Amino acid sequence: MLQFGIKNYEEFKELFVRECIREGKEVREKKNKVLLATWLNVASKDFRCITSETGLYSEVLSRLLNPVSKDIILEMGTFQSSMYRTDEWKGVCEDGDLEKIRYVRKDTGKVFKMKPGKFFRHILEDQGVARILPEQAKVLMCETFANAWRTYRLQVSDINLHINGDFERIYSSCYTGSTGSCMSDEGHWVFFRDAMHAKAAYITKGDDDSILARCVLYTNVYDDEGEHYVLAERPYAKEDKWRNVLIQKLIAGKHIDGYKKLSASCHDADAFESVTGEDWSGKEFYTRVDLEYDDIISYQDTFKWYNSSERTAANFSGFNHNYTLDRTDKYLDYDEGEWSDYHVYNVAEEDAVWSDIYGTYLDKSRDDVIYDPDLEDWIVDDGNSNEFWLYSHQMGRRYLPQYVEWVDELEDYLPTNIVEWSSRYCEYIPKNAEDFQGFCWSEYLQETLKERECTYSELLQDYFPDDMEEEMMSLEDGKMVAS
C-alpha cells in the first residue's frame, strides 16, 4: 500500500471499503471500484493522488489536450477531432432525439447521430487518454458524460418539468397511461396529500399534457445526524428512457439531493444515490407521516416502517415500528396483527413469532430478531451475554432477567406472564395453582394460596388460609344447618 501513498489499512478502508448490514449480518463491500482499478493500473499511476470518482472524471477532462474538445463539456456546443466535428446545430439532433449527438464526418461531410457515451469514448481515444485508463474508468467517463449531455439537452428541449401537489394527476392513468403502478386509479393518492410532506413531480412534452414520467418527492427527510434531504422516489413512466429524463431534470434544476436508483425494485427501500453519484445504499432515512386510524394509505417503496406514536416512518426494518406501509390495503388498521410487550406495538401477523423466553410476540422482520437453535426459541440479539440470563428449573430454559420473577415458594424463577403479585404473601406466586406443586386455588377467596399454609374443608370442598379457620368453621356450620 505504501507505493500508492496509503499509510495503513484504515486509510485504505476509508477510500475503498464500505461496511454495511445485509440480511442481519455485517458485511464489507467495495466502494470507489473504478478509482481502485485506476490506482492498480500501472499506466494510470499519475492519477493516484485523486481520491474520488468524480475527481477522476474532472482530471480526465483537464487532460484532454485539444481545447476545442474541452468545449463539449464546458459549453456543450462545439467539438472536433481528427474524424468528426459538430456543426451549427451544436450537437442537437433535428428530430429532437435527446439520447443522441449530431455530428458531421470530415471526410464525407455527411451528418450522423451517435450515442453520447460512444461519442465521448471517441474523444478519449482521439486525444490518447484512453490508453492510460483501465476499462472500468473509461466506462465511468462515458456514462458521466452521457448524463452531462442529457442534462444539457433537457435545458434546451421542450420537455417540461412540473412540481406541485397534484397527486391525483400523477396517479391517474388518463394522464400517465399504463406505467405498471399498482396504485394507479385506486384513490390512494390522498395519502401523499394528507399524511406526508411530499410533492408530485412529472414531465410533459410541449403542449401535450400527457405525463411521460412521474415520481413522488419526499420533501422532509432526515438522517440520524439531523441532516435534511429532498429525495425522489422510484419513477414510473410509459417508456424507461423518460424515467432517466425526469431524474436528470430534477438534478439539473437542483430540486433534489438524492434519488432512488433506476434499477431498484419496490422492495429496495434503501437503494438511493446522491445527485453527486455517492452510493447511499444502506443509509437510514426518516420522514414524518401523520396517520390516524382508518386513514387512506398508499403502498410505500421506501418509508415502509411506521411508528404511529412518533408519527415517523423509516426506510429500514430495524426502526421501532408498529405498522408496515408496503401493502395495498386502502385503510390503516392499528388493531391487526399480534401485540408485542417487548416492541410495544402490534406486529403484522405474517411477522409475529411467539417467544417463550420473552413471554410475548416478537417481530421477525427486524434485523435484531433471530431464531436461536440452542435455545430453540426466538430471541432479540441485543448484545446480552448468556451469563446474565436466568435459568428456570420449572420451565427448563433460560430467560432474560426482565422477563422473570422469583417465586419464594418454589425457590425458582418463573416467566412474568404466568405469575402475579400476591398482597397476602407480599411476593410473586403462580397465576394458575394447578400448574405447580405447593399451591392451591380458593374458590371462596378467588385467589391462589400456599398449600402448606391452608386447610382443606371436606364439607365446603375448598381451601382456606390457616388464619381464616374460624371463618371456615362458621361457613361449615351454616352449611350443616341449611342441609
Q: Does residue 370 lie within any of the structural domains?
A: no
Please give the Cα distance from 147 to 54 (Å, whole number): 13
Q: Does residue 340 lie within any of the structural domains?
A: no
169 & 42 share domain = no
Q: Does residue 143 lie within any of the structural domains?
A: yes
108: confidence class by pLDDT, cuts 50, 70, 90: very high
413 & 448 share domain = yes
297 & 163 share domain = yes
Reported as a single tens digit per residue, the pLDDT across 69-98 is 444 443 455 677 788 888 887 787 876 677
Reported as a single tens digit per residue, the pLDDT across 354-366 is 988 788 899 888 8
Please indicate, yes or no, whether the overall pTM of this predicted structure exceeds 0.85. Answer: no
Q: Which three cell numbers stand for residue 326?
A: 408496503
287 & 202 share domain = yes
92 & 104 share domain = yes
190 & 264 share domain = yes
Q: How many domains does the chain have?
A: 3
**What CATH number does residue 203 fall under?**
3.40.630
152 & 163 share domain = no
134 & 222 share domain = no
Q: Does residue 92 lie within any of the structural domains?
A: yes
Question: Which range is least confidently modeled, 9-13, 166-170, 386-390?
Answer: 9-13
Does the structure show a pLDDT above 90 at 230?
yes
Q: Which three cell numbers stand for residue 470?
A: 374460624
Q: Does residue 465 lie within any of the structural domains?
A: yes
Reported as a single tens digit per residue, the pLDDT across 295-348 is 777 778 888 888 877 889 899 888 888 777 876 665 666 556 788 888 777 777
Burial class of 6 by CB neighbour count within 10 A (0 to 12, 13 to 18, 19+): middle
Q: Does residue 87 lie within any of the structural domains?
A: yes
- Which of 290, 324, 358 terminates a domain? The answer is 324
Percent of the chain with pLDDT over 90: 14
92 & 164 share domain = no
Domain boundaries, position 205: 159-324
Q: Please report, in angstroms and rounded to a whole number, the separation of the first and last CA atoms in the chain.
A: 100
- Which of 156, 186, 213 terminates a domain? The answer is 156
Nearest-CA neighbor of 238 among 204, 269, 199, 281? 204
Of 57 and 287, the one with more pLDDT: 287
Residues 6+ apart with CB under 8 A from 23: none
111 & 209 share domain = no
- Which of 324, 339, 367 terminates a domain? The answer is 324
Instruction: Return the ∠ at Cα 164 (arms to 265 and 268), rounded to 5°.
Output: 10
64 & 90 share domain = yes
60 & 90 share domain = yes
Q: Does residue 23 lie within any of the structural domains?
A: no
Q: Does residue 217 lie within any of the structural domains?
A: yes
